[in-house]
Structure formats: structure tokens, C-alpha cells
Homo-oligomer: A and B are copies of this chain.
Amino acid sequence: MQNAITTLQDGPGPRTGSLAGVSAGIARGVCRYLAAAGYGCLLETPLRSGRRADVMAIGPQGEIVIVEIKSGPQDFRTDRKWPDYREFCDRFYFAVDQAFPVALIPEEVGLLIADRYGAAELRASARHPLPGARRKAVSLGFARLAALRLQATLDPQAPHGLL
């Protein structure tokens, strides 16, 4: 929760050389891109599998997108968990910065190139529609988490045990 807030509130410039900083900038740009397309976005969204999605977004028709951010080749190569995320979304993307060697990214997933200010879709994701019950559970969890985080931001003195 705290991390998710910190990432978007990150300072005015890039923190070069810091993997956390690169990821934070990409996350901000990805969220701006998705918001402009009508998606509501949440960072670090917990999934029932126990993992967290870097960015989860829900679109005007209820489409659920997960974007995993890769700060560099090493970050990608050490990630064995990304195929699991496809069980929780209709479309799955990686997001990387311009310096990333995009040939590393498997062809069957979507690809966004991002910086701190926005993103562009280099390759669309295949659509693998969620089963109805899973979609409902993911959407509901998203709705409550977004509202609880908003409330925690606006009313920080309130007791919050639910995030």
C-alpha cells in the first residue's frame, strides 16, 4: 500500500541507476497511458495466488489488464512467475523502457514501451477472457482496494486495518 502510493508520488525526475526508480517511472507512464484510454489503474494489486500485479487496470467494458514492469534484462530473466498473472486478466503486457532489449520478451504477450510521461503499445496482447466467476472476484477486489486506498490517502488519520 505504502509502496503503491510512493511510486506515483515519486519526485520530479528520474532516479537513474536505481532499479526501483526505473520501475517507478515506467509505472507512472503506464498508468497515464491506461488512464487516457479510459482504464482505472492500481499498482501492486494483490492476487489470490499470493502474488502482486505491478499494474492492474479495468476498462470501460470491464476488461482487466495486468502490466508487469521490467526495469532491465536481469529483472526479466529472474522472473519465473509471470505466466501465472494471465490467470487473473484478459490481457497481459510487459512494460519496459526504451533501453530494454525487447527481443527477450516472449512474442505471445503484449509489450508497452514507457517512460515517466506515458507509454506506447509496441505489441498488442492476445485476449484470454477470464471465466465469469474469476472476473467478478477480481473486479470486486479491485473496486474495494481502490476505494480503501483512496480513503487512506484522503483521511490518513482513520484506522485502516484492511489494506
Q: Which of A74-82, A83-91, A120-128, A139-147 contacts B (4 or more CB under 8 A)?
A: A139-147
Q: Chain B residues with Cβ under 8 A from A159's Cβ?
A: 32, 36
Q: A59, A60, A142, A150: which has the most chain B beta carbons within 10 Å? A: A150
| Interface band, chain A | 35 or more
Q: Is B151 in contact with A35, judged by CB distance below 8 angstroms?
A: yes
Main SS at interface, chain A: helix
A40 and B154 CA atoms in complex are apart in Å by: 13
Query: Would you call A51 an interface residue if the criterion is a C-beta within 8 Å of the partner chain's C-beta atoms?
Result: no
* Contacting pair A40 B146 (CB below 8 A): yes
Partner of A32 from the list B28, B42, B158 (CB cut-off 8 Å) is B158
Q: Is the CB of B139 within 8 A of A35?
A: no
Copies of this chain present: 2
Task: Point out the residues of chain B lying under 8 angstroms from A60, CB to CB.
Answer: 144
Tell me, yes or no, whether A119 is within 8 Å of chain B by CB: no
A62, CB-defined interface residue at 8 Å: yes
Encoded as 1 (CB less than 8 Å from any B CB) or 0, chain A from 15 to 33 comes to 0000000000000100110
Residue of A38, A39, A57, A143 with most chain B CB atoms under a 10 A cut-off: A143
A151 touches B36 (CB 8 A): no
